[in-house]
Amino acid sequence: MERTIVIPGDVVSDNIKMSGSGTYVHGNKVRASVYGLLNVGERYISVIPLAGKYIPCASDRVIGIITEVVYSNWVVDINSPYEGLLHISQYPRRIDSENMSKYLKVGDCILTMVASVDASMKVELTLREKELRVLSNGRIVTINPTKMPRVIGRNGSMIRLLKSEIGCNMFVGQNGRIWINGSGDCIDLAIQTVKYIEDNAHTPGLTERVQAFLKAKEKTRHGKVHESRNDEE
């Protein structure tokens, strides 16, 4: 899909009811507030930013890294200007506050969910939800959070493609962190592909091009396998 690039201050609509994310209303016009791609929907006009930080929002699934263990809370880095707090009661099991770091220590990674964000931007996290857990294997790559929707694709089409073509397990956090697990080669290829998507996130027809990218990689991979076999002979 072809999209127009807009810069802050551009008039995007005359109908103030159409104002969506990345826009603001001034006078009787809707203007873009961020530098990005114009997205004209049926009911709203929004601007998809090309850069920016992750701002936590309740019920977002994010990947966090423990940075500190304080009294009855874990402080979690969620790749955002705001840090997350995981209370001891939000750990799946009942644990004693004295041996908290036995279960989660500094540097551990968790797949967690934002339970609530209050007006002072205090971010509370939880592990008490289906599929939330401590990540003990695999690798984590970080991309720009604004590019994250392209890695998932429409209705999850891109992520399904990646999982089936590469044959690895993946989870994309809303905060731009992506957890990948599988064999070493698979992870390397997955990371390359994710970076490719990040670099080309603003271009149309991305799914097809990722398919082509993976096909090209597949060829070189097989080429290498043949070479090494020849060496053995």
- What single DSSP character describes residue 59? T
- Asked if 40 is part of the footprint of other proteins (rule: CB under 8 A), the reply reads no
What's the CA gap between 175 and 173, in Å, rounded? 5
Check binding of 16 to other proteins (CB under 8 A).
Answer: no
Q: Which of 79, 143, 77 is nearest to 106 (CA)?
A: 77
Q: Per rule CB under 8 A, is residue 82 in the interface with other proteins?
A: yes
How many Å apart are CA 76 and CA 91, to the nearest integer? 13
Among 18, 19, 30, 31, binds other proteins (CB under 8 A): 31
Q: Which of 20, 35, 75, 149 binds other proteins (CB under 8 A)?
A: 35
197 lies in the binding site for other proteins (CB under 8 A): no
Query: What is the closest distance, in whole angstroms, from the C-beta atom of residue 7 to other proteins in the complex?
Result: 5
- Is 86 within 8 Å of 74 (Cβ atoms)? yes
Compare residues 144 and 192 and give the one whose CB is closer to other proteins.
144
- Choosing from 39, 45, 46, 49, the residue that interacts with other proteins (CB under 8 A) is 49
56 binds other proteins (CB under 8 A): no
φ, ψ (nearest 5 deg) of residue 163: -60, -45
Quote the strand ranges of the chain, DSSP E.
Answer: 5-6, 11-13, 23-26, 29-32, 36-40, 45-49, 61-70, 73-77, 84-87, 109-117, 123-126, 133-135, 139-142, 169-172, 177-181
**Judged by CB, which is closer to other proteins: 22, or 182?**
22
Is residue 51 within the footprint of other proteins (CB under 8 A)? yes
Kindly state the smallest distance separating residue 64's Cβ from other proteins, in Å: 15
Name which position in 8, 20, 138, 153 contacts other proteins (CB under 8 A): 8
Q: Is 196 helix (H, G, I), strand (E, B) or coil?
A: helix
The residues that touch other proteins, with contacts defined as CB under 8 A, are 2, 4-12, 22, 24, 26-29, 31-36, 38, 49-53, 55, 81-83, 119-121, 146, 200, 202-205
